[in-house]
Structure 1
């Protein structure tokens, strides 16, 4: 048989498969309508495994795994279609509108001059009261206790990537992201006015800032020393009697503390941006919200993550970011953080969220927001 004849056979089979696939999906819609009318769940315990077991039993041994994968994919698509049918006419509670102009108190980590303050001012304006605290968790605690309307925390830097501590807090506390703020980071190396830069042996700053300036620190032969915050490090250097220390901080922070700037651009890469989350206890959404964030644990089954990501293609949604973290307190269980394009009020998005959380051991909706550039 010639190659063209073989290809024709494949094309004929593909056509038959397509028609059967379309017929199956139409029946799935009817099944979904029946379940909806009779208040039955989309997922029927054991039904999927029963089908896969039957497929394996009916397949030659060397094709059993491949056949199981194909039918698993078909069933995942079926569940997506059924979830969309389930949301027809479904009414969701409308969230609050995110109104930064109504904020009374905003919590930030560090002190005046910190990059978090710049993010706060960029989103809320110059005249909002900012309450500075020492640690990231302190910011979350103030928001949870109602002592601050919103909190600001860094989540990602363009040089060193994700901020692990923020992701840990997102996994272990209940709050909603209302907005993302992007701030340009311009690290400088600063010392006390009377300090000879040649005498400096140690440089203090936030861990991430030190990482962003690692080449400069190495080339100068300095010992990096972790500190709670870039602004607090500058304040500490100003008040210290030790003339062998310096800090990595912003230019404005150095000037605010009366420090001498030795190196204007100490970072390894420019431009250098940090994205900050603005969060609150309440699900409040900007009017132009275009990004949704969720987190979940991946089922410990072969192809578990792949099956979840397949849903994006079926629903026609654009995945913007995926972060895989081993979160503190989860006993080495991997937690996935996903950002994707969409609005909470979009029916396809609502169906996707309903579908995504079904069967998850851990699932959390983190917010619907936009980014302030």
Structure 2
């Protein structure tokens, strides 16, 4: 029988050689980076990498070994590029131009826009973030709110971007790329939906329930208990509460906030919770200025990648090798490009930190497009 310990000793010896060769390769990678920085050549040379992998694959002793060595080389070349990006980042500043560092967001006499009516959850989020005395105005749609801020007719807009129960608000992801706006803050708001009806109405009277599609989705388990109720979608939970108040029909109810019920003179028809106990919505604060407050600790970006195997993996490797923690990733289809997607990503960090700069330079070089949506 073979001696296992001797085999393991030989494997350890080979692994030691691999380590020394890897470190030697990284030293040469540094020299390559210095040359490319001096000459302006791009770090990523796809043709060279493909030819190298093809050559290695053809010379391998078996198909299995060919696949294995190609995978090792892909990883090694990816790590080499990341090292080159780190060196390139020391000479690259254009990515972060125009950002304004502040102790606090300028909010005195600021105009804040939200979608819906007074009593909407966005209204509550605005007051919680900016203070109860904030000067707010409401509009009919999210796009209107973004347009007004982009045209500098208001300072900020408060927009829902995801819910802990129902998931992302897809339209917001798409809209924030269409206008020159930037994320400068966020507010997480606990959501406590109530079933609201006219004074004197009873839950047994209800035939139609109005609310925003997200609110209906967040209460879907409760609504399953009432399959005979018709569910009607409106632009906003507060709009739903106002409709019930205006129509004066005891067969109608709204799913909305307690404050919306008080504002429109409605009563609570159901005592138990309509959604999960930990139901919360994350709102983003957008501005037409590239503000970064002191101690900002989250970065949101969007990028588009070449439509080929491994492109997302290699882009995300820039976070791994710079020890950055990704907190969220979403994909959205790219218009007019069938089954191709752009990625929205949140990770912890500040644009002033070297590791963040390294990672973003790397992603920029791997991606077809990179957008920094905000640091907040």
Aligned position for 2:50: 49
**Is the partner of 2:107 in helix, strand or coil?**
helix
CA-CA distance at 1:179 after TM superposition:
0.8
Partner deviation per Cα, 1:316-350 (whole Å, 9 max, x = no partner):
11111112233555533222211111110112211
User: Which stretch shifts more, 360-369 or 145-154?
Assistant: 360-369
Comparing 234-243 and 181-190, the one that deviates more: 234-243
Q: 1:229 to 1:264 in 2, by over 3 A?
A: farther
The superposition leaves residues 193-233 of structure 1 with CA deviations (integer Å, 9 ceiling, x where unpaired) of 14333121110001110111112222133222111000111
Q: Which moved more, 1:346-355 or 1:98-107?
A: 98-107
Among 69, 87, 97, the alignment partner of 2:89 is: 87
Count of matched residue pairs: 369
SS in 1 for 2:222: helix
- Matched ranges for 1:177-188 at <5 A: 177-188=183-194
User: What secondary structure is seen at the aligned counterpart in 1 of 2:117?
Assistant: coil
Q: Gaps spanning 5+ residues in structure 2: where?
A: none
Q: Report the secondary structure of 1:263's partner residue.
A: coil
Greater Cα shift, 13-22 or 304-313: 304-313
For residue 110 of structure 2, give the secondary structure of its aligned residue in structure 1.
coil
What TM-score does the superposition give when structure 2 sets the normalisation length? 0.92
Q: Does 1:139 align with 2:145?
A: yes
Q: Residue 66 of structure 1 aligns with which residue?
A: 68
SS of corresponding position for 1:182 = strand
Query: Residues of 2 paired with 1:265 and 1:158: CA distance?
Result: 19
CA contact under 8 A between 1:251 and 1:264: conserved in structure 2? no
Q: Which runs of 5+ in 1 are unaligned?
A: none
Superposed CA offset, 1:45-80 (max 9, x none):
622222222222222351323222211111111111
RMSD of aligned alpha carbons: 1.9
The 1:321–1:72 alpha-carbon spacing in structure 2 relative to 1, beyond 3 Å, is same
Cα distance in 2 for residues equivalent to 1:345 and 1:99:
18
- Give the alignment partner of residue 217 of structure 1, picking from 208, 223, 239: 223
Contact map agreement 2:30 2:84 (CA 8 A) in 1:
yes
Say which is worse superposed, 95-104 or 172-181, in terms of deviation.
Answer: 95-104
Which of the numbers 353, 360, 365 marks the counterpart of 1:358?
365
C-alpha separation in 2, matches of 1:306 and 1:278:
30
1 CA distance for matches of 2:285 and 2:318? Answer: 28
1:313 aligns to 2:317 (yes or no): no
Label 1:313 to 1:134 Cα distance change in 2 as closer, same or farther (>3 A). same
Aligned to 1:301: 308
Residues of 2 paired with 1:93 and 1:145: CA distance?
Answer: 21
Matching residue of 1:112: 118
Q: Check conservation: 2:199, 2:265, Cα contact below 8 A.
A: yes
Q: In the alignment, what sits opposite 2:242?
A: 235
After TM superposition, list the pairs within 5 Å mapping 1:1-373 onto structure 2. Answer: 1-44=2-45, 46-62=47-63, 63-88=65-90, 90-91=92-93, 92-93=96-97, 95-96=99-100, 97=102, 99-102=105-108, 104-221=110-227, 222-326=229-333, 330-369=337-376
- In 2, the alpha carbon distance for the partners of 1:184 and 1:350 equals 34
CA distance in 2, matches of 1:302, 1:44: 16
**1:182 and 1:164, CA in 2 relative to 1: closer, same or farther beyond 3 A?**
same
